[in-house]
Amino acid sequence: MHGSTLIGLLKNLDEKSFRAFRDFVHSPYFNNRSNVVQLFEYIKPCYPAFEDAKLERFRALRRLYPPGTSMQRLNDDMSKLSKLCRKFLAHNELEESPLLEKKLLLDAYRRRGMTEKLSEDTERFVQQLRDEPHTDILPLRLSMEAQFEAFFYPPTEKYTPFAPYLYGALHGLEQYYQLHKARIVAEILHRRHIYQEAEIPAPAAPAVLDMYRRLLDILESPKPHSGFEPLLDDIERHFASLADFDQRMLLDRLYHVANRRYEKGQPEYVPILFRIIKIADQYEALTYQNAITPVALVNYAAVAGMAGDLEWGRQFVTRCQPQLTPEHREAAIHLAEAHLLFYEGQFSPCLLHIGEAERYHAGMRIHAETLYLRTYCELERQKGESYLEEFQRCQKRFSKFLHHDARINKEKIKALRRFILLSSCLMQYHNRRNEKQRQKLHQQRIHKYFNGADKVYSAFWLQNHIRAFVLPC
């Protein structure tokens, strides 16, 4: 055993630590192998020098094991005792760092979905790190990590990310980075002066850093950006090598900025949205913990419909049905099918499916009501029976819902009200048979309202509808 990893570890334990390690080895919580306990007790009298002849491997093998036992058995037990010693050292460090212990406890809450404890203890932990004076960089790192992980924990009905944590994580990261960099640069400059050391070139940055740089360019650009497709090419090429968090973050942020551009009336972003959805679906990144929200399912089906791939949309809905919560499953399936029927031009069956979806939460209600209004417009355009009364009842009901539901943010309400206004104009346009009245309505309201909108809900349908049926007139 002389010169082994095990003896090297044990030699570096002081008396107090060696006694504590004995208790660690004998604890059934950490070790339930009697052979390992027996091996430690055989080695223990040799502490601290570990130079005794009894540590010769063949001698130890004859003393500890039955005749005929192979040397591999001793080597295996030595390896297990070495692992126990490393675990003991790590455990010892944890006991001497209460801040690190609290951070690991937050990690345990997060992994087990204990959202109430995660929220309460993160707040206390961050406040403690702010209040206590620090002489080391560990608190900066732990504060940054705790706030980062608490903010990006998936939101649920019982857990809402605390926005200040995002900025707290950024400030902690900057301080941690600046202090670390200052220490390292100071040492490098010192060594250059004393030892005339040459600078070592930096290694190539990982591909994910370049992806984030390009994502930031897209997010910061106020105008249409040509970088979507090349960035998606690289994400798809390197997807398997990306961390789970980066896979979801890159695709999610690209999806939302493309969706924002689409909502501003730029239908060229629909193929980009659909491509992002298909990449995420291919690598099972559309779901989290084998679940998908009903709003997400309906959104993705609607994008497939807009992109013209109705077959993919229906296959996707069928595959994801088991991953929906039971209380929202039927409503989500009917609304998803209603969107696909709408883009297929099957407006009467579309109305039937919306009617089947009886119970909605806030997001589903918005999907249902806006689809009702669009469908009534399309049916009115076909100049069959009039749907003006149904449209007006839906418009009144939806406007009242937006007025009373405080959960919807102001920007979205503004976009939805713009949509209601424009769909009402289109309904009036199709309802009027006099060509002069139509022209006046178009010139004074429809064209003006749509082109002047900063953001409008259902922009893809509105723009296509206006171009196809209003502008040619």
pLDDT in tens, 247-271: 999 999 999 999 888 877 777 899 9
63-84, pLDDT tens digit by residue? 999 999 999 999 999 999 999 9
Residue 362 confidence (pLDDT) above 60: no
394-411, pLDDT tens digit by residue? 999 888 888 877 677 788
| pLDDT average, residue stretch 464-471 | 72
- Asked whether the bond before 67 is cis by omega within 30 degrees of 0, the reply is no
The neighbouring-strand residues paired with 458 are none
Residue for token digits 């430690």?
40
Q: Is the dihedral of CA 260, 266, 270, 271 positive or negative?
A: negative
Task: Give the 3-state secondary structure of residue 205.
Answer: coil
3-state helix, strand, coil in the chain (%, to 5): 75, 0, 25
Does 326 or 266 have the greater pLDDT score? 326
Q: Cα–chain-centroid distance for residue 13?
A: 43
| pLDDT average, residue stretch 182-197 | 90
CA angle, 365 as apex, 359 and 371 as ends, to 5°? Answer: 115
| End-to-end C-alpha distance for the chain, whole angstroms | 94
Burial, 161: exposed, middle or buried (Cβ in 10 Å; 0-12, 13-18, 19+)? middle
Half-sphere exposure of 319 (CA within 13 A, CB side): 14
**Token pair for residue 436?**
């002069």
- Per the CB < 8 A criterion, the answer to whether 240 and 428 are in contact is no
Least confident of 191-200, 272-281, 453-462: 453-462
Residue 318 confidence (pLDDT) above 80: yes
Q: What is the pLDDT of residue 423?
A: 87
Residue 85 confidence (pLDDT) above 70: yes
Residues 177 and 27: their CA atoms lie apart, in Å, by: 41
Q: Could you tell me the CA-to-CA distances from 276 to 127, 264, 441 in Å, in that order?
A: 39, 19, 38
422-459, pLDDT tens digit by residue? 888 888 877 776 666 666 666 566 666 666 556 677 87
110-165, pLDDT tens digit by residue? 888 888 888 889 999 999 988 877 677 888 899 999 999 888 887 665 667 778 89
Q: What is the pLDDT of residue 75?
A: 93
Residue for token digits 């591999």?
72
Residues 276 and 298: their CA atoms lie apart, in Å, by: 16
Residue 87 confidence (pLDDT) above 80: yes
| pLDDT average, residue stretch 465-471 | 71
Does 141 or 226 have the greater pLDDT score? 141
29-39, pLDDT tens digit by residue? 999 999 999 99
Residue 282 confidence (pLDDT) above 90: yes
